[in-house]
Structures are given as structure tokens and as C-alpha cells.
Amino acid sequence: MEARDLRVSDAEREHVGQLLQRAVGQGMLSLGEFTERMDTALGAKTRGELNVVLADLPGIRLIGDEAPQQQPQVPSAPQPVYGQPPTFRPGAGDVVRGRMSNVTRKGPWHVPSTLQLNSRFSSVNLDFTEAIMTSQVVEIYVDDFCSSVSLIVPDEATVDLNGLQLIGANANSRVRTGPPIGKLHIVVRGRIRFGSLEAKHPFGTSIRRMMGGGNMGAWGMGNGGRWRL
């Protein structure tokens, strides 16, 4: 069997995505071309299919293609791009991983002091309002590509997004940055490429604050299931 007919791994697809991203940054590809090629790369099953999206880019060696002037190989593992150190810390904390999927953590889920988020073309929703915390400060290391990430935090929680590197991406915080004033302070570090991250309170928090917060119970249901004044 020829090398170009061998099956490819997720690591090889991710690395090709990084090469395409670098090509966009160097002006060799438009965003439209990048999107089309990423779709092809994510659906590739063999190295020959994966090589197609890189064939016309200079300085890239392709495994199994009969092109003596361009014989680079696609590495078996992704390498850091833009001269940045790897985002992830091996063995540090739990990993939340998403690949073209919807990922949700909510309710009484256990949150370690260090959490790693690795997402590609996904929608990620991390809800900390009812989470079981192991420490006041939670560090989240993000390695994201073309995903939408939401961090939902309880009242008086603080979130620091200053450690994020954004590449064609945006990060928005509707939450206090700090210093910590409550039981939870989240520090987000890492890299987001062509995606977005938003930190916010649960829906309706602003309305409750405007109406007095603690007095809202007078309009709610009592323990016996009856309206109480």
C-alpha cells in the first residue's frame, strides 16, 4: 500500500488546519478558501485526500505524492504555530474536548482547579452556577479553533480573560474582571483562532438586580407550593 493511501488521524487533520491557518495569515488564502479547505481536511480519510488542500501551498512536503520538488511530510502530531508555546499542560486537570459537536457542562458537575478546553468547530457551554468547586480559583487553558464558547458564572464571580491570545477571534466578558469578591474566580488562558468566547451571568440576572434581588422571593412560590407575599 502506498503512503498516500494510508488512513489519517485527528492529529494530522488538526496540523493541516494549522498550516491552512498560517497560509491565511500570510495572505496566501482568503477566508472563503480557508473554510472550503478546512471542510475537505476534516472529511479526509487518507493522506492523499488530505494532501489535496496543501498541494498548491509553497514550502510544504506532502506524504505519498509523486512530486520530487515538494516532498515534505505531514507530521504525525500537531506542532505549535506562530512561535507560541503549546497551550495545554499534559496531565493538568480535566479535559473538555469537542469536535464539530455541542458540548455542555451544567448542573452539579465537579470542577477541578485546572480545566483544559480543546475544541474544534464546536459549541461549548460551561455553566458554573450549580457546579461543585474544588477551589476558589479555576484556571482554564483553551486551545480552540472556530468554536463558540460560553462561560456562565454565578453572581459575584469574577473572570479574567487577559491571558487569551486571539487570532481572528473575539472574547467578551459581561462579568467583573477582579479582584475576586465571591466564591469563584476564573482565569482563562490559551489561544482562540477564528472563534469566540463570552463570559456572562445567567439569563435574568440583570433584571433581578434591578428589582432588588433578595426581595424577589416575595413574588415566588413558597415551600408549600403556594404563592407567598
Expressed as residue numbers, the domain containing 68 is 1-76
Closest CA to 219 of 209, 228, 206, 207: 228
126 with 55, same domain?
Answer: no
Is 124 part of any domain? yes
The angle, 0 to 180 degrees and rounded to 10, between the axes of the packed helices 31-43 and 10-25 is 170
> Is 110 in the same domain as 199?
yes
- The answer on 103 and 65 residing in a single domain is no
Q: Are residues 67 and 104 in the same domain?
A: no
User: Quick check: is 59 in a domain?
Assistant: yes
Cell numbers at residue 113, please? 482547579
Cross-strand partners of 115: 94, 140
- Per-residue model confidence as pLDDT tens digits over 11-70: 888 888 888 877 877 778 887 788 888 888 888 899 888 888 888 888 776 655 444 444
pLDDT in tens, 168-212: 899 999 999 877 777 899 999 999 999 999 999 997 665 555 555
Q: How many domains does the chain have?
A: 2
pTM over 0.85: no
Same domain? 62 vs 34: yes
